Amino acid sequence: MLRRSTTLAALATVAALALAAPAALAKTTITMSGSTSVAPLVRALAIKYVALHPGKVGFKLQQGGSDIGINDVAHGRVTIGNASRKPQPSDPGGLVFNRIAYDAICVITSTANPLPGLSQAQVQSIFTGRTRSWSQVPGARVHGAIDIFTRTATSGTADAFRAIFLGNTLSVAASAPAKSSNGLVNQSVRTDNNAIGFVSLDFLRGVRAIPYQGVACTLRNAKSGQYQGIRPFSLVTRGAATGAAKAFIGWVQHSAAARAIINTHWIPLG
Amino acid sequence: MPEAALAARLRPARRWSRPERAELWLGALAVALLALIAGMVVFVFRQAWPSFSGNGLSWFLSGGNANTQLADIYHSPADPSHYLYALRAFPILYGTALSTGLAVAIALPFSVLCALFMVEFAPPGIARLMTPTVRFLAAVPSVVYGLIGILVLAPWINTHLVSESFKLDVKPIVPIGGGGLLLATLILTVMIAPIMIAINADALQNVPRSWLEGSAALGVNRWRTMWRIGVRTARPAIAAGVVLATARALGEAIMLAMVSGSFIFSPNPLDGLNFLLEPVQPLAATIVVNSEGLTVKPFGQTLYAFAAVLLVSSMMLSITGWVVRRPLRRQGVR
Amino acid sequence: MAAATAPAPPPPGVRTRARDSAASWPLADRVGLACCWAAGLALALVAAAIVIYMAWKGISQLSPSLLVQHPTGDVDQSKAGGFLDPIEGTLLLTLIGIALAVPIGVATALWLVEYGRPAPLARAVESSVEIIAGAPSVVLALFGLTVFSNTFFSFMSFRPTGADLAYGRSFLIAGIVMSLIALPLVVGATREALLQVPNHVREASLALGKTKAATIRRVLLPTIRPGIATGTTLGMGRIVGDTAIVILLLGNTLLTEPQEGLPGFGLLRGTGSTLTSYVYGNSPAGEGNAPEKAYAAAFVLMVIVIALNALATRLARGRDGGPAWIR
């Protein structure tokens, strides 16, 4: 009987220590979810932040699309939500969009179909499904049906595309396959000669970016303001940011190291 | 001796003997497990209720595009009194029933014939190889089946079986690619056949030898003996195998999420052969694909509604399996 | 007529009469036989195709360095990095799942077979195990995600700063839900093994004066060890092959990221990935950038699962020298 109670006591002590220790040494963890366009930028920023402030903060990054991030942070599920679009009236209340950078959306086709350029009217008629065949598009090098690829409903890129390119009144054809990330759209367009889609500027590997309204979709044109398809990246918090999140967001918005990272593939603020 | 004491001595002992400590501990553990599982079932149904009550019985009917309905539910306003629940889940249920039903329908004759081959008609060398083959097929993880489907079979179907004109015709309504009903059914068949083959072969081997020998003595040829006597005797086991295979097919999420076309749609049999190329998205695959949206309350409750339908189906299948196995128990097989 | 000596009986096992030749059968029966052959050969062909294709693709992509290198933290896996962390994740998750499933499963099976009263309670416990066996793993994962996101369980994962809910995803949580899917297999195998032990063994032990608990501990458990081992191996096979629970409940970080705290417990509360989520993530269903890595990881996964199932069959057959009174 004595042996059993001491065993139980020992187990209880170990359990208590195991629970207490994490509380004592607690390193804060910032969790983020949301846009797949913001994810590469935030990942690079987080790695640099952890390197500069070792042992203080940890990061966990998930994706899912801007709407997922916004809803997660509004419900208190994550610390920061990553959004790649402007706030919309349908967003939950009480959110603060801390803008950190700008990014361009490029219309892409496969390398077998290097279109010379598209106007806004052409983009609208192709993506809404009015123009169904490549033979109706001047400058197309392939024939057959146009395979449109769009993003799932939770994507901020899709919302920004609709706002900027489709004038907020039209919608992408309902039957277009909806991919859940930029990478998947890139992959679908890369492997299908008749495909057309839209991705963030960072996801152009293996596909061809089409000039929009006469301006090529490059980082330089985006920075100079010539390219029209620009949308903001924001780190969304519930109310004003506090604590570790505030420190991180402040670092991203104001430090030179962060600005250097943003400058590589995105457009810094101001 | 007083009458009462004598009567007490002669009364039979209590039937319920005091449980010993080990029984209490083990029983407590088993009951805790029961409580956990019962709690889980109750939790799933409670979470699912708002979605069902918000739609009534038309939850099970069709109407509108389920993809946009799910997106609208996700974008419900934050105010609880304005939560959107509108959903017509028939395309999802129909897709589940179609893919499962077709897979079981194809796998059933195939597995009976395979079991007959393994047990009776294969030459001894090949028969010895068949058992490890069946075990191997049963052991392959579903993600590997999905990988082969999505990297090898889907592009092949897209290039060779999908006609450009069909793709163009239905473009406004539904995207056609390699993934769809055909690929989902095929891979599901390969996944559930080993279960049925193993059970059928076991049952065929347990057919009393004297019955088969008696039939042979009467001059009936081997095929007719096995078909008329062996398969007929093994009917309860074949039914039990069908139930197990259906349960497996219903619960398959990952493989179907990869190959079934990722677009909620009711394939139309009137399209002829093209009906097989149309995409479906069964229940379990829908849950996996949409699992990130759990945060938004009405969307989470809708996902739980799908889970509740799956739970009820698997419970009904369990009951069917129990009913079907009763004749087996009478024969002495557990 | 001289009495003919009776011909010597043929040695046993040697066929003396001609086998029934299919050429004499009616057409319908010959068609049936042909269908049997077709089905059997089709099965063999499908299995061979899967084996050969996965072996070819897997071995051509697999290099020993992949097994010992960590993955790069990048989304694009096609350039560098191996899958050491996914392998670690698979092992850790299997360990946790089995460590929970075996004691609970064996205890439940013992109670069901040895005691099992009151009878309605025993039937209820049996039904609940069947419910778990039939429930798709997505349903269990969904349930786990909601329950463990409660802040009461934040010691099992962690609580992000500024968040209302616990993270709800970690090795410990995924391991707990994994044990649920392995449980029915352990319970089933243990039950089968217990029912095989003849009653006279139990009665002899009781007649010698041992209590029922001692009988279970000293006589029954050692005897059913092969059955428990079979159930354990089957359960391990099921855990290793499951993807849905991993995707929903493990946090899906490519590298194993333990939380801080006591070294062991921190790892349990951390996130990571397994071979199955790695294959899923690298296929066109996930980020899809590295199908070659997906093939290599899928090959390793298949080898592990097949080895586990072969081991289970071996254990089920049992060693030839079992206790004499069992036979």
Complete domains list, chain C, with CATH: 57-64+79-318 (1.10.3720.10)
| Residue of A31, A66, A154 best to disrupt the B interface, most CBs of B under 10 A | A154
B307 belongs to a structural domain:
yes
| pLDDT for res B260 | 84
In chain A, alpha helices (H): 2-24, 38-52, 66-74, 120-127, 156-164, 182-191, 219-224, 243-254, 256-265
**Closest to B178 measured CA to CA, from B188, B191, B169, B167:** B167
- Chain A residues in contact with C163 (beta carbon < 8 A): 31, 76-79
Work out whether strand A57-61 and strand A28-34 pair parallel, antiparallel, or are unpaired. parallel
The widest CA-to-CA distance across chain A, in whole angstroms, is 90
* Facing A18 at nearest CB: one of C165, C265, C284: C265
- Chain B residues in contact with A153 (beta carbon < 8 A): 71, 74-75
How far is A214 from A235, CA to CA, in rounded Å? 32
Scan residues 44-83 of A and list those with Cβ closer than 8 Å to C: 47, 58, 60, 62, 75-79
Find the distance separating the first CA and the last CA of chain B, reported in whole Å. 53
SS3 A81: strand
Find the distance separating the first CA and the last CA of chain C, reported in whole Å. 54
Q: Decide which of 3.40.50.1100, 3.40.190.10, 3.40.309.10, 3.30.160.150 is the CATH code for A104-230.
A: 3.40.190.10
| Residue of A82, A85, A151, A175 best to disrupt the B interface, most CBs of B under 10 A | A175
Residue of A nearest to C258 (CA): A58
- In sequence order, what DSSP letters do the residues of B199-263 get, joined into one string? HHHHHHHTS-HHHHHHHHHTT--HHHHIIIIIIHHTHHHHHHHHHHHHHHHHH--HHHHHHS-SS
C13 phi-psi bin (left φ>0, alpha ψ -120 to 50, beta other): left
How far is C115 from C112, CA to CA, in rounded Å? 6
The widest CA-to-CA distance across chain C, in whole angstroms, is 111
Find the distance separating the first CA and the last CA of chain A, reported in whole Å. 73
Structural class in CATH, domain A28-101+232-268? alpha beta
| B64: number of Cβ within 10 Å | 12
| Residue of A70, A71, A146, A184 best to disrupt the B interface, most CBs of B under 10 A | A71
How far are the Cα atoms of B60, B246, B263, B280, B321 from residue B266, in angstroms, in the given order?
13, 20, 10, 7, 29
**Closest to A123 measured CA to CA, from A190, A198, A187:** A198
Q: Do A30 and C284 touch (CB under 8 A)?
A: no
Peptide bond between residue C118 and the one before it cis (omega within 30 degrees of 0): yes
CB pairs under 8 A between A and B: 60
- In sequence order, what DSSP letters do the residues of B120-169 get, joined into one string? IIS-HHHHHHHHHHHHHHHHS-HHHHHHHIIIIIHHHHHHHTS-HHHHHH
Task: Please tell me the distance in Å from A212's CA to the nearest CA on chain C.
Answer: 27
Same fold, A28-101+232-268 and A104-230: yes
Domains of chain A, residue spans: 28-101+232-268, 104-230
What is the domain-level CATH number for residue B227? Answer: 1.10.3720.10
- Chain B residues in contact with A133 (beta carbon < 8 A): 168
B59 belongs to a structural domain:
no
SS3 C28: helix
Rounded to an integer, the average pLDDT of A7-18 is: 50
What is the rounded radius of gyration, in angstroms, for the C-alpha atoms of chain A?
Answer: 23
Count of structural domains within chain B: 1
Burial B164-191 (b: 16+ CB within 10 A, else e): eebbeebbeebbbbbbbbbbbbbbbbbb
| Residue of B144, B215, B283 best to disrupt the C interface, most CBs of C under 10 A | B144
| pLDDT for res A21 | 45
Is the CB of B172 inside 8 Å of chain A's CB atoms? yes
How far is B259 from B285, CA to CA, in rounded Å? 10
Walk along chain B (334 residues) and give the pLDDT tens digit of each residue. 577 677 666 665 555 567 788 888 899 999 999 999 999 999 999 999 999 998 889 899 988 888 889 888 888 887 788 888 999 999 999 999 999 999 999 999 999 999 999 998 888 888 888 888 998 898 899 999 999 998 889 888 888 888 878 887 787 778 887 788 999 999 999 999 999 999 999 899 989 999 999 998 998 888 999 999 999 999 888 998 999 899 999 989 999 988 887 788 888 888 888 888 899 999 999 998 888 888 888 999 999 999 999 999 999 998 888 888 777 666 554 4
Task: Please tell me the distance in Å from C80's CA to the nearest CA on chain B.
Answer: 21
Scan residues 133-172 of C and list those with Cβ closer than 8 Å to A: 149, 155, 158, 160-165, 167
Low-confidence ranges of chain C (pLDDT < 70): 1-6, 10, 13-20, 73-78, 261, 288, 318-327
Task: Please tell me the distance in Å from B2's CA to the nearest CA on chain C.
Answer: 35
B15 belongs to a structural domain:
no
SS3 A31: strand
How far is B276 from B272, CA to CA, in rounded Å? 8
Dig out the tokens for A140 from the structure: 């197309």
SS3 C243: coil
How far is B113 from C39, CA to CA, in rounded Å? 6
Using a 10 angstrom Cβ sphere, with 0-12 exposed, 13-18 middle and 19 or more buried, the burial of residue A68 is buried
B52 belongs to a structural domain:
no
Residue of A nearest to C162 (CA): A79
How far is A253 from A244, CA to CA, in rounded Å? 14
Please enumerate in sequence order all residues whose Cβ is within 8 A of that of B229, keeping only pairs 6 or more positions apart, or say none: B207, B211, B212, B215
| pLDDT for res A24 | 42
B1 belongs to a structural domain:
no
Digit-coded pLDDT (tens) for A25-53: 457 889 999 988 898 899 899 989 989 98
- Chain C residues in contact with A76 (beta carbon < 8 A): 162-165
- Residue B107 φ/ψ, nearest 5 degrees: -70, -25
Domain that holds residue B221: 90-330
Touching subunits of B (3+ CB pairs, under 8 Å) are A, C
